[in-house]
Structure 1
Amino acid sequence: MTTTMEDPAGVSGQSQTFLLQVLDTLPAAAYTCDVTGLITYCNRNAVDVWGRTPRINDPADRFCGSYRLYYSDGRVMPHDECWMARTLKDQASYNGQEVVIEQPNGAIRWALAHANPMLDAEGRLLGASNVLVDITERKRFEEQLAYQASHDSLTGLANRSKLLESLDQALADAERRGEPFALMILDLDGFKRINDTFGHEAGDAVLMQMRPRLQKVVSRHDLVARLGGDEFGIVLRGADEARARRVAAAILASIALPMTVGDRRLTVGASLGIATWPNEGRNASDLLRHADMAMYSAKRSRTGLEVYADSQPTTIPHEHSLACELSRALEQGAMELHYQPIVDLASWDVVGVEALVRWPHPERSLIHPIDLMPLVESHGLSTQLDQWVFVEAMRQQRAWRDRGLLLELSVNLSIESLLDDRFLNTMLELIEESPPYRMTVELSERSVVSDPGRAQQSLDRFRTLGVRVALDDYGTGYSGLDHVKLLTVDEVKLDRSFVRGLPGSTTDARIAEAVLSLSHALGLVVTAEGAEDDEALDWLVAHGCDRVQGFCLSEPLPPDRLVAWLESTDRTTRRSVAEFLLEG
């Protein structure tokens, strides 16, 4: 846009004063310069961007010459090539260019620069009008988001995505310069024992102490990343096998030093695999696979350190290979949720569904939770899986609600996710932005034994948003009643291992009666899981169980089949599930 200036004498002093007042209210730096670049005017807010007000008609500030200017990519911007100079030179507008300004005190501000030529009535150039909109806070927020996307929230180390990016860059540099580099994959030994014995808080403390121990050994040009769980990756720039071995030995020695966790002195070991470019792989996929194989070889042989060799097995152990496939499936959304109906035993209405994950493996058919969850837990994929399930289940519930189908949604949550601040904040924001119809989070009784205090703090945040809390697999953990007293829950789910034995097993019946009696005395809803026949269902009804789910009513169903099942229990009014069962 070109600004045309009429004869200044034709503008009243009152109008000029009003115009200047308007310019001073702009939340941006507004200023003008003449055809030589001398600053001729600036508004009151210019100081916010520039750090001090540019000097009027001062040759030292020609094109704001007393400030350091940079392009958005960090290159120095010569003053005679800045937005003001280009506008005057080309007599054209330059709008929306991102620039960086270094203030006199060294502070950095980001701004969007807008510059337009000013012409008189005959079209002669008088100068340029300029506006700088401060976008520093936006850029800092973007940088924060980029950091969070590329770094592990617990340790502050780079994450898997960042390691893959660094690996690609290392490959490009190696191809260009011919310099070798090494990739290391490291897995802690005995970490699960620490988690199981001392709790997840102690395990987290151990993982956080890995960062300084690893970083002090490598150089500032190398990258250390947490890949998930207790697995770490390291890219060593310019390292041949000999240097990689030396660094690896130093890493293992550093990790082996005792560490203080709370009032305990703990020790952990590690197994480390190395693959070097170009000897053990010429692309990222080969290097990752070969470093993984070397690490598993070190773990099996208990040598602590192995370098990949062609003589090693050509396949990664079955379980780890499957875990890699699962991680990719989660990233690609190649999973399924099936939904098992939950029936109220007083009204026989279907009041909700539990979302249960399935993995349609291309070669192994449908993998169910009983086979899936040990893989997820042992390879640190719990949070990744939970996030996918949360998002997909809430999307499906919204789709049902749009069709007029109102169902309470129950979603399982691992203790790793519950204690992960980034996961928790993301899910709570999702719930706030798009509140579900009704929602319950289910937490395994066994999982809370490690840190009931932190678990309760996280669960309280869900409850403030109206989300119910259920204690899953009830009766199978340690001192189950203690957990009900320590945690504020709304519901307990009687474990299927007791329900399955009803009514024939006297022991199961007594346990189920005790759970029902105690839970109801505490004002809790009891849902029985795994009811598989009419006899168990009759027993649960007779003993006052509140809700039930199980194969005697319906197996977990894909969304479309669930809707068809629900419709099959409807005519003009809803028929009871009991009638449906009797007729079936």
Structure 2
Amino acid sequence: MRLRRVRRRAGARTSSRLFATYAAASLIPVMVLGAVMWQGYRRDATEQGRRQGLAQAAVIAEMAVAPAMDGADLDHGLTADQLEGMRRATELAVFHGSILRLRVRGFTGQVVFSDDGSTGGGLPVADPDFQAAAAGGSRVKVIGGPGQEVIRVVQPLVASASGQAIGVLELYLPYQGIAAQSRAQLARFAQRVAAGLAALYLVLALLAWWTTRSLGRYAARQEYQATHDMLTGLPNRAAFRSRAEQVLEVAERDGGHGAVVLLDLNRFKEVNDTLGHHAGDELLKVVAERLRAGLGDGDLLARLGGDEFAMLLPGRDAAQAVALLAWVRDRVAEELVLYDVPLSMEASFGVALYPEHGTGLQDLTQRADAAMYHGKRGTEDIVVFAGGAAGHPHQWLKIQAELRHALERDELVLWYQPKVELPDAEITGVEALVRWQHPERGLLPPGEFLPAAEHSGLIAPLTEWVLRRALADQAGWTATGQDWTLSVNVSARNLDAPGFVGYVAALLAETGARADRLILEVTETALAGDADTAVRAVNELGALGVGISVDDFGTGYTSLSHLRGLPITEIKIDRAFVADVDRDPQSQAIVRSVIELAHGLGSRVTAEGVETPEIHRWLVEAGCDEGQGWLYGRPVPWPQVAVEPLTERTVR
């Protein structure tokens, strides 16, 4: 809960920062937009003033000046009657201030009439505005400093009678009224624009707030899902690894101590098989709550997958860890009822102490796993690692160390056992089988080291080595004209690894191998588990075109519901049912049922352990598709498979 609250606060801080950034960023374009609109409206207001001045000047010229100038020759000046007529026509406008200055000028620039009686001043003849007016155009400008602006209009003077331009009229009109009107309009415009932009900014801010809050919640949710198990709410494997490595690093630096614990539930699969996966999920949630209730604030509990959990108990020695786990064990074992069925679950605990048993997480989890395995084999359900006495069979920890060096020194070799098509026993594929050329113990079969690899992180690099070497060998026999399929065994841990499907796809692309000529054999128990990752990996591999084979079928717990919907291309019948199929009615019934089941699912059937011609003939009559066993060939390096063809005599 504390971690969740911290993450919520972190998400809220992130959302606040995003909102502040977005709000500040959106304010800039809103302000720029307002400034642009303001400048544009000011230009429009000024232009409106010029147009108004030009219209006023046109009225004055047409209604007052032009009639008084009728018949005038401006090159020779005005007569006394014309001057008197001009004064009468303009004195009222000048008196009321609608005209500030008025001059009538000839085309040469001489002033023939002005409202103040002067004959000088005015616009220079060389001024472009005067020249434009003399040529028949009109020019208007707002001149003067702030608060003293006036409108200057220069336009041709047209006689009323002739309609011909006889001179230039130069008018100066007041601008203050127009300016005041423009300012009032600008003020009203500014208010409306400010209100509109404020509303727009408010909308943008609300959208930013909603978006950043949503993004913050989404990011927090994604982070939570990436580091937590969705069923129980506990940290997942990745989160446990990250947190545990931090604690172990601090402990190594400061001399701290504690315990790493692995545990899983006994007979959990029986609950899934009997009551269904929904019941299994409910059970896991109850167990998670009971485990969490026994731990302190500084302890870490995680679900690694399936029914496997991990604990990190800082600051506890062996006695304290065992005492805590005994309480947790009893709490887990308390009876509960699922779907009207009373259950009492038991758990096995393996404990590794740091720094006594190691300082790295990988070493500690291996030793805790070894202790848990030892407990499952014995009578104790809480076992503290004690070196070889609590190790896996065949000194697994030693084998794991040696196997790691074997991968580095390229001590592994691949042999291949042929798979033949029935009934003619023609080789159609081979299965890659790894061997270890041990420097001291000689050539070791896979049973001597694969179990140790399965219970460590070595299974991933081992499988990758086998795939790479086998695809290289396949290129070799393909070059000789042998179009054999290649079968490679993979484990449940491989399917559970996040990058396994991507590795297979990249390796196929790198080697140029055809996906449909590669078959990955998965044990039946790997598909019978409750981990969705294995099923997802199988579906993704099938989508690549890689064949999927269910190995050792009949010995595990696979139900039809597990196989339904999976891209299974092959089902291999375990040798335990094939060895006496020619004489045992029960084996015959089982094998016939498996063949019918596989064909109904659209899969091929391969019988393992075929050693006699009698078994071969029985399988042919039963409709089996392929066979594999010593009758057809023992595992050998692939060139020897190619030089030892089967004969008709072998199977007759």
Cα drift, residue 183 of structure 1: 0.6
Q: Which residue of the partner structure matches residue 53 of structure 1?
A: 25
> d(CA) in 1 for partners of 2:598 and 2:365?
54
Change (3 A) 1:492 1:106: closer
Q: In the alignment, is the contact (CA less than 8 A) between 1:397 and 1:436 conserved in 2?
A: no
SS at match of 1:400: helix
Q: Does 1:317 align with 2:391?
A: yes
Q: Which residue of the partner structure matches residue 432 of structure 2?
A: 355
More strand by share: 1
Q: 1:42-441 to 2 correspondence within 5 Å?
A: 50=22, 52-53=24-25, 169-174=246-251, 176-178=253-255, 180-188=256-264, 190-191=266-267, 194=270, 198=274, 201=277, 206-207=283-284, 210-225=287-302, 232-239=309-316, 244=321, 247-258=324-335, 264-272=341-349, 280=356, 283-284=359-360, 305=382, 315-319=389-393, 321-322=395-396, 325-326=399-400, 329=403, 338-345=415-422, 348-358=425-435, 368=445, 385=459, 389=463, 392-393=466-467, 396-397=470-471, 400-401=474-475, 404=479, 406-412=483-489, 422=498, 436-441=515-520
Q: In the alignment, is the contact (CA less than 8 A) between 1:337 and 1:389 conserved in 2?
A: no
Q: In the alignment, is the contact (CA less than 8 A) between 2:399 and 2:452 conserved in 1?
A: no
> d(CA) in 2 for partners of 1:324 and 1:153?
37
SS at match of 1:214: helix
Task: Please point out which of 605, 610, 621 is paired with 1:531.
Answer: 610
Cα drift, residue 455 of structure 1: 9.2
Q: In the alignment, is the contact (CA less than 8 A) between 1:323 and 1:376 conserved in 2?
A: no
SS at match of 2:389: coil
Change (3 A) 1:108 1:189: same
Q: What amino acid maps onto 1:568 in structure 2?
A: V
Change (3 A) 1:526 1:237: closer
Q: In the alignment, is the contact (CA less than 8 A) between 2:459 and 2:493 conserved in 1?
A: no
String of CA shifts for 1:317-341, please: whole Å, max 9, x gaps.
Answer: 3439516855995899576654322
Q: Which residue of the partner structure matches residue 568 of structure 1?
A: 643
Change (3 A) 1:301 1:442: closer
String of CA shifts for 1:369-400, please: whole Å, max 9, x gaps.
Answer: 556677778x5x7x984896478437733662
Q: What amino acid maps onto 1:530 in structure 2?
A: G
> d(CA) in 2 for partners of 1:520 and 1:289?
38
The number of equivalent residue pairs is 443
Q: In the alignment, is the contact (CA less than 8 A) between 1:445 and 1:480 conserved in 2?
A: no
TM-score, normalised with respect to structure 2: 0.49
Task: Please point out which of 609, 626, 629 is paired with 1:547.
Answer: 626
> d(CA) in 1 for partners of 2:430 and 2:621?
23
Q: What amino acid maps onto 2:515 in structure 1?
A: P
> d(CA) in 1 for partners of 2:458 and 2:484?
25
Cα drift, residue 527 of structure 1: 2.5
Task: Report the aligned-residue RMSD.
Answer: 6.0
SS at match of 1:577: coil
Q: What amino acid maps onto 1:181 in structure 2?
A: H
SS at match of 1:437: helix
Change (3 A) 1:390 1:205: farther
Q: Which residue of the partner structure matches residue 14 of structure 1?
A: none
Cα drift, residue 408 of structure 1: 1.9
Task: Please point out which of 540, 558, 572 is paired with 1:493.
Answer: 572
> d(CA) in 1 for partners of 2:563 and 2:308?
34
Q: Which residue of the partner structure matches residue 646 of structure 2?
A: 577
Cα drift, residue 577 of structure 1: 2.8
> d(CA) in 1 for partners of 2:246 and 2:531?
43
Q: In the alignment, is the contact (CA less than 8 A) between 1:200 and 1:451 conserved in 2?
A: no
Q: In the alignment, is the contact (CA less than 8 A) between 1:394 and 1:436 conserved in 2?
A: no
Structure 1 unpaired stretches of 5+: 1-45, 58-102, 110-135, 570-575
Q: What amino acid maps onto 1:53 in structure 2?
A: A
SS at match of 1:319: coil
Q: In the alignment, is the contact (CA less than 8 A) between 1:343 and 1:548 conserved in 2?
A: yes
Q: In the alignment, is the contact (CA less than 8 A) between 2:371 and 2:390 conserved in 1?
A: no
SS at match of 1:565: helix
> d(CA) in 2 for partners of 1:317 and 1:240?
20
Change (3 A) 1:392 1:229: farther
> d(CA) in 2 for partners of 1:282 and 1:517?
50
Cα drift, residue 53 of structure 1: 0.9
Q: In the alignment, is the contact (CA less than 8 A) between 2:571 and 2:605 conserved in 1?
A: yes
More helix by share: 2
Q: In the alignment, is the contact (CA less than 8 A) between 1:441 and 1:470 conserved in 2?
A: yes
SS at match of 2:516: coil
Q: What amino acid maps onto 1:344 in structure 2?
A: E
String of CA shifts for 1:443-495, please: whole Å, max 9, x gaps.
Answer: 55677678899998886665554444545445667899999999885544344
Q: Which residue of the partner structure matches residue 186 of structure 2?
A: none
> d(CA) in 1 for partners of 2:558 and 2:245?
51
> d(CA) in 2 for partners of 1:48 and 1:428?
46
Q: What amino acid maps onto 1:319 in structure 2?
A: P
SS at match of 2:647: helix
> d(CA) in 2 for partners of 1:107 and 1:483?
42
String of CA shifts for 1:506-554, please: whole Å, max 9, x gaps.
Answer: 6489558846984798576443322224554455557764322212222
Q: 1:8-27 to 2 correspondence within 5 Å?
A: none
Change (3 A) 1:555 1:217: same
TM-score, normalised with respect to structure 1: 0.54
Q: In the alignment, is the contact (CA less than 8 A) between 2:333 and 2:346 conserved in 1?
A: yes
Q: In the alignment, is the contact (CA less than 8 A) between 2:573 and 2:607 conserved in 1?
A: yes
> d(CA) in 1 for partners of 2:591 and 2:313?
61
> d(CA) in 2 for partners of 1:361 and 1:261?
51
Cα drift, residue 437 of structure 1: 3.3
